[in-house]
Structure formats: structure tokens, C-alpha cells
Homo-oligomer: A and B are copies of this chain.
Amino acid sequence: MPNSAVPAVLDHIDATLDAARERLFALLRIPGVSAQPNHDADCAASAMWLSNELEAIGFAVDVLPTAGHPVLLARMAGPAGAPHLLYYGHYDVQPAEPLELWTHPPFDPQLVDGPRGKRIVARGAVDDKGQAMMIVAALRAWREAHGSIPVGCTVLIEGEEEIGSLNLEPFLEQYKDRLGADVAVISDTTMWDIDTPALTTRLRGLTFLEVTLRGPSRDLHSGMYGGSALNPLNALARILGELHDDQGRIRLPGFYDGVREISPAQAAQWEGLRFDEGAYLHAIGLAAPAGEADRPALQRLWSRPTADINGLWGGYTGVGAKTVIASEASAKISFRLVPDQDPQEVAQQFRRFVTERLPKGASAAFQILAAGPGIAINEESVFMRAAAAVLEEEFSRAPVMMGCGGSIPVVESLQRILGIDSVLMGFGLDDDQPHSPNEKFELRCLHRGIRSHARLIGRLAGLG
């Protein structure tokens, strides 16, 4: 293919944007809500619709059963020597309820005017049908403009992302042989803002524990026993109250051993974003930030670990007074982790922290409910450099290397099971309301997303 191949594809994308949007609308009309059993057939229909779409583009496609909803797997070899990309997305969507809060029926997609141009309003508009269809549209544009795609491609679109992807890892294990690729490319994240593209390069990990402190063998009268009997609620509050120091740092010995500072360049880029933490907190009714003192907000959210009590219970919690010393007290605690912290080691640190502080006569039982590492994506890989370059071409602005406070488990699964890194190149915006009524996707983002993916294919094929 000539070096002018990419501009031809981009022209084709611009000329056929309406058709691409119409195809997305057809998929959005299928209410594939993975959480609701009455939509099981719609999940299967979503997979079949995508199967037809990808076959039309020239893929060999299988819709493969799992213990839950089926997974679509499409593959097309590329030219000899070309890299092979594994595209991941999901066709399932969140429940649309409460329906009465939607301005349009959630499964009757509409193109409406918004402050930044036209937007698509529908459940799944951005999460993730709209973003998955950007990729499909980019593949179609290459095929229609040039008759072929200049890289190898595997497309994996699952149907259980919104319910925890429980069957994805078994699927990856089972079909490992058919999933060979050089890199994964995923569009299920956001840009910094509508004019500023982003690559997500940091995902926090998670250690989630439950602890139960036990004291007396039965509930006691606090008058008869108060002053002599151990109170597990007092003890739990005391221990968990020591989790942070006065500066908001976490006091588990060794906790920060694996925590590295981000590079000065990264810190400077984040500083340059002028993130308005005050406005961000004001929207949730808070007047001041929590977390580590003297750390910039985006570091606290993206590159620093946390400890949060997520649940706390014990004793009498009904109406009025009951003077009881309860026999046990429990808490759920999560640690958000950054790369190079070992989630299991953090669980052990917490066990030790609690156990060392147990009053005489108390015992503690622990349950590890989740443990996954934080991830840092190497920004210097050939794929990340290519992604950054095409985003800068498309937006005339270098992409922000963003962190994500939560985790995207598939990234870790792909790394662990298939041994490949991911490029997280998303085109959503913060106000897209992906799990809420009136989910939307800006048409401009869809358009530039298709163009960016088309550019990435061209660049990885060595074309421009």
C-alpha cells in the first residue's frame, strides 16, 4: 500500500460517518443487559449482530459459548511481518433503570443537539458499544478503502463486562492458542476533555479484606460487664482508627516499600492539567480533600495507594438505645494499590497490623475478598508510542498519560494469561454518564475515535 493509504481511509471515514453511526444505532437497539436474565436472548443477538458485521468486513468469526453470555472471537491474518492486534470490547450494557429518568427510550438511540455538537443518547452509547464500534468502523474503512487491513487483527467482544467478566479468564485460558497477538487495544476509557486525547497508563490494584474481631462468647449487658469485659467494637474502632497517620499516610509497616514516585515529567504533565479538585469534590458535597497531605490531587487519585473502610458493623443498630457489649464486630477494608505493591503482601501486612494490636482475649478472623495488582503500562513501547503519535496527529495535541483510580481487570488478565500489554485508548468523556440514565457519546468523539483507530492501524503497518 502507498504511504497515502491512511489519508484515503480517513477521507472514507469522513464520507461514511452517517452509515457508521447507523450501524451503531442498529446495535444499540438490541437491549443486551447482561445482568437481567430476561435479556439473555438480547445478549446472544448482540453477539450475532456483531458476528455478521465482522464477517461482512472479511473476518472469520465464532460466537463461542461460555458458562454465561457468549464471546465473539473474530480473526484475520495480516501481511507477513505486520504486527497483530487484539481488540477487546464488550457488547453487554448496564440495566437502563430507572427508565423514567431518560429523556428518550434507552434502546431507541437518538442523535440530539448538545452544547458540543450532536450526541448519541442511548444505553451503551459510550460503554461500550459506541467505543467497540469505533474499532469495527475503522477496520471496515480500511477494508472498503483498500480491500484489506494492513495489520493482523483479532477481535474479542465479551458479554459480561458489566457483571464482573466472571467467564472471561476461563475463556482466555481455553482459547489461548487462538489469541496470539502482539498487543491488546482497548477503547473503554475516557479522554481528558473533548479536545484533549488521553492514554490510560496506570490502573490501581486492589486488596479487599473482611475482618471480624471476636471478644466475649455472647452479647453482654454493658452495665453488668462494662469496665471488665472486652468490647470488640471499641477494639475495632481503635485498630482501624490507627490505619492512617496525621498526614493521611497508611501506617501498615512496609506498605510503601513498593510505591515509587512518578517521573518528574509525568508529575509536570499532570500538574499542567490544572485539575480542579475543588469543583470535583463540590459536586459530591465535600468542602476539602482527604488523603495524603501535600500530594497533588491527581497523584492521590492515580499514583498513590489508599486505605478505605467500605463497611463496618456490629452490636445493636436498630432504633433507640440498647446497652449491649456485642460479642463481635466486623469491617470490610480495601486498599487501592499502585504498581509494584504485592496485593497478597498487603493483605499480610494488614493481618499483622490488626493482630499486633488485638487486646488480650480478642481474636480476629480474616477473609481476602479480592487481590489484584496495580498496573503501569510502559509508555515507551512501540505500540504506546504509535498510539501517542496518532492521537497527537488527530487532535493536534499530545495525549495526556492518565491514571485510573480503579482497576480494569481485563488488562491484568490479558497480561497474565496471554502475556500481552494493553493500549488503553478511550474516547469517552467524564460527563457521559455511562451507568446512569441518558448515557451519551459525543458524535465528535465517535468520529475522531474511528479516525484515531484507523491511523493507529496505518502507523503500526508502517504507512505514514
Contacts and interface: CB of A to CB of B under 8 A. Distances in A.
A216 interface: yes
B229 A286 contact: yes
Given A237-B240, A281-B229, A321-B369, A360 B288 contact: yes
Nearest to A275: B228
Interface string A221-238: 111111111110110111
Interface SS of chain A: helix, strand, loop or mixed? mixed
A204 interface: yes
A216 B285 CA distance: 5
B227 A336 contact: yes
A312 B314 contact: yes
A308 B233 CA distance: 8
B301 A311 contact: no
Q: How many copies does the complex hold?
A: 2
Contact of A308 (B231, B309, B311): B231
A361 interface: yes
A229 to B, nearest CB: 6
Interface stretch (A98-106, A324-332, A341-349): A324-332
A359 interface: yes
Given A228-B301, A336-B227, A405-B225, A316 B322 contact: no
Interface in A224-264: 224-231, 233-234, 236-244
25 contacts: A206-B323, A208-B323, A216-B285, A217-B286, A218-B285, A223-B405, A223-B407, A224-B301, A225-B405, A227-B292, A228-B277, A228-B291, A233-B331, A234-B240, A234-B309, A236-B312, A237-B237, A237-B241, A240-B241, A311-B316, A320-B369, A321-B369, A321-B370, A322-B332, A323-B406
Given A216-B284, A221-B406, A227-B304, 5 more contacts: A228-B289, A236-B237, A237-B240, A286-B361, A309-B315
